[in-house]
């Protein structure tokens, strides 16, 4: 059983594509989440994705209710000798939540019989079983959407607008760059995490030339239009570990400018160094312009190498991880589990 329900239009495409991949698999019986099923249903493996999402209700009493229900699921997993718990480690740090939630999230993490990591630099407890399953691409997902020719000098940034994503650093660099190159333009798209952050972005961009804001949830068609109309996608995060936005941009054949770290260095080696451009320290106007020039020099029709990120490969790897986790939980061989 997965920790996610049936995907909706606003569901993270990673989850939607994983859902489709597991549904196609002949090795697993794919079950989506329900409270009743998780508490009382029969399943062999439970996989957690972003468990903090199970703790948030629309009212305080719904939040309390979800917290207690999640505690009950965790208790069931703790006493069961037959249910294996698999956790995909999407984020390195715990979210900024209150103490009771952090306590429960730590228990969920410790309870994992097997962890799935999306890159080789995700830390796991020493000796803990884990599998590397690369974040799948979005080429098939975005294929039905019309694409646009890149506008010369157009930069873009997209994704949920959160403070850690450092839009302020991008705007500072853009302000300096557009003074030297007045033909530049910038399009920012995504829903702000709070009204305050949205207003801060509007205030910061009010005096900047050629800046377009789409501060709402982007449909697939809107995201594809925003990304493919740009020559370069800029993600000036303060901290970057697993970024779906990077994979979305590369899936749309647009180079990205990202902070230099070990994860992004490895990604550049995998997909091609012309596609993953990196800046050091704080993003500057000079680094922004240099990256844009490199992006503009890419030949028409060029594509990054995403061959290792096929979703059928990911589905097979998940099935293998489930088998390994279940065999370890029950103290039998993997062949006995499959049989």
pLDDT tens per residue across span 240-280: 888 899 999 999 999 999 999 999 999 999 999 999 999 99
Domain membership of residue 4 (yes or no) is no
Domain membership of residue 1 (yes or no) is no
Q: What is the rounded distance in angstroms from the CA atom of residue 150 to the CA atom of residue 133?
A: 32
What SS3 state is found at 257? strand
Nearest to 190 by CA among 210, 219, 228: 219
Residues 283 and 330 in one domain: no
Helix axes 13-24, 311-330, angle to 10 degrees: 70
Secondary structure (DSSP) of 57-77? -SSHHHHHHHHHHHHHHHHHH
Residue 228 belongs to domain with CATH number: 3.40.50.2000
Domain membership of residue 34 (yes or no) is yes
Residues 253 and 109 in one domain: no
Residues 206 and 123 in one domain: no
Which tokens belong to 246? 């990077």
Q: What is the rounded distance in angstroms from the CA atom of residue 38 to the CA atom of residue 216?
A: 33
Query: Which one-letter DSSP state was computed for residue 307?
Result: G
Q: Total domain count for the chain?
A: 2
Residues 115 and 198 in one domain: no
Residues 301 and 320 in one domain: no
Q: What is the rounded distance in angstroms from the CA atom of residue 136 to the CA atom of residue 308?
A: 8
Helix residue spans in 80-166 (DSSP H): 99-111, 139-142
What is the domain extent for residue 98? 13-136+310-338
Domain membership of residue 7 (yes or no) is no
Note the pLDDT of residue 124. Answer: 94
The label of the residue with tokens 């509007």 reads: 202
The label of the residue with tokens 């079950």 reads: 31
Residues 163 and 272 in one domain: yes
Residues 128 and 147 in one domain: no
Which whole-number Å values give the CA distances from 210 to 68, 175, 186, 285, in the listed order? 50, 11, 6, 16
In this predicted model, which residue has the larger pLDDT, 98 or 222? 222
Report yes or no: 316 and 308 within 8 Å, Cβ to Cβ.
no
Report yes or no: 271 and 305 within 8 Å, Cβ to Cβ.
yes
Nearest to 317 by CA among 134, 137, 92: 134
Q: What is the rounded distance in angstroms from the CA atom of residue 290 to the CA atom of residue 181?
A: 12
Residues 168 and 144 in one domain: yes
pLDDT tens per residue across span 176-234: 999 999 999 999 999 988 899 899 999 999 999 999 999 999 999 999 999 999 999 99
At 339, is the pLDDT very low, low, confident or very high (cuts 50, 70, 90)? Answer: low
Residues 100 and 176 in one domain: no
What SS3 state is found at 301? coil
pLDDT tens per residue across span 107-134: 999 999 999 999 999 999 999 999 999 9
Residues 83 and 99 in one domain: yes
Residues 323 and 292 in one domain: no
What SS3 state is found at 72? helix
Note the pLDDT of residue 62. Answer: 95
Residues 30 and 125 in one domain: yes
The label of the residue with tokens 């956790």 reads: 87
Domain membership of residue 66 (yes or no) is yes
Domain membership of residue 5 (yes or no) is no
Domain membership of residue 225 (yes or no) is yes
Domain membership of residue 330 (yes or no) is yes
Note the pLDDT of residue 55. Answer: 93
pTM for the whole thing?
Answer: 0.91
Note the pLDDT of residue 164. Answer: 64
Nearest to 282 by CA among 306, 300, 259, 251: 259
Nearest to 105 by CA among 67, 77, 132, 76: 67
Q: What is the rounded distance in angstroms from the CA atom of residue 298 to the CA atom of residue 301?
A: 9
In this predicted model, which residue has the larger pLDDT, 164 or 83? 83
Helix axes 262-271, 244-251, angle to 10 degrees: 20
């Amino acid at each position: 059983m997965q920790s996610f329900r049936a995907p909706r239009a606003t569901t993270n495409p990673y989850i939607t594509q994983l859902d489709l991949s597991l549904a196609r698999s002949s090795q697993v019986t794919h079950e989506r989440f329900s409270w009743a099923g998780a508490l009382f249903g029969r399943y062999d493996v439970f996989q957690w994705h972003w468990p903090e999402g199970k703790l948030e209700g629309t009212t305080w009493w719904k939040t309390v209710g979800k917290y207690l229900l999640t505690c009950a699921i965790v208790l069931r997993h703790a006493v069961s000798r037959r249910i294996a718990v698999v956790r995909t480690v999407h984020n390195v740090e715990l979210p900024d939540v209150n103490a009771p939630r952090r306590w429960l999230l730590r228990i969920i993490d410790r309870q994992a019989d097997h962890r799935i990591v999306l890159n080789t630099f995700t830390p796991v407890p020493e000796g803990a079983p884990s599998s590397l399953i690369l974040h799948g691409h979005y080429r098939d997902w975005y294929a039905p959407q019309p694409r646009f020719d890149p506008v010369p000098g157009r930069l873009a940034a997209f994704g949920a607008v959160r403070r850690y994503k450092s839009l302020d650093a991008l705007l500072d660099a853009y302000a300096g760059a557009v003074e030297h190159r007045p033909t530049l333009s910038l399009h920012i798209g995504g829903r702000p995490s709070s009204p305050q952050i949205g207003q801060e972005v509007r205030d910061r961009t009010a005096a900047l030339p050629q800046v377009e804001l789409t501060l709402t949830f982007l449909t697939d068609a809107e995201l594809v239009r925003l990304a493919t109309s740009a020559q370069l996608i800029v993600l000036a995060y303060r901290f970057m570990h697993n970024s779906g936005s990077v994979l979305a941009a590369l899936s749309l054949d647009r180079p990205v400018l990202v902070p230099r770290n070990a994860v992004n260095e490895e990604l550049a080696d995998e997909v091609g160094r012309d596609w993953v451009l990196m800046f050091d320290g704080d993003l500057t106007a000079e680094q922004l312009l240099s990256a844009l020039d490199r992006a503009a020099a890419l030949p028409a029709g060029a594509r990054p190498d995403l061959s290792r990120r096929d979703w059928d490969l990911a589905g097979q790897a998940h099935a293998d991880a489930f088998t390994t986790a279940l065999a370890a939980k029950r103290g039998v061989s993997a062949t006995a589990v499959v049989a």
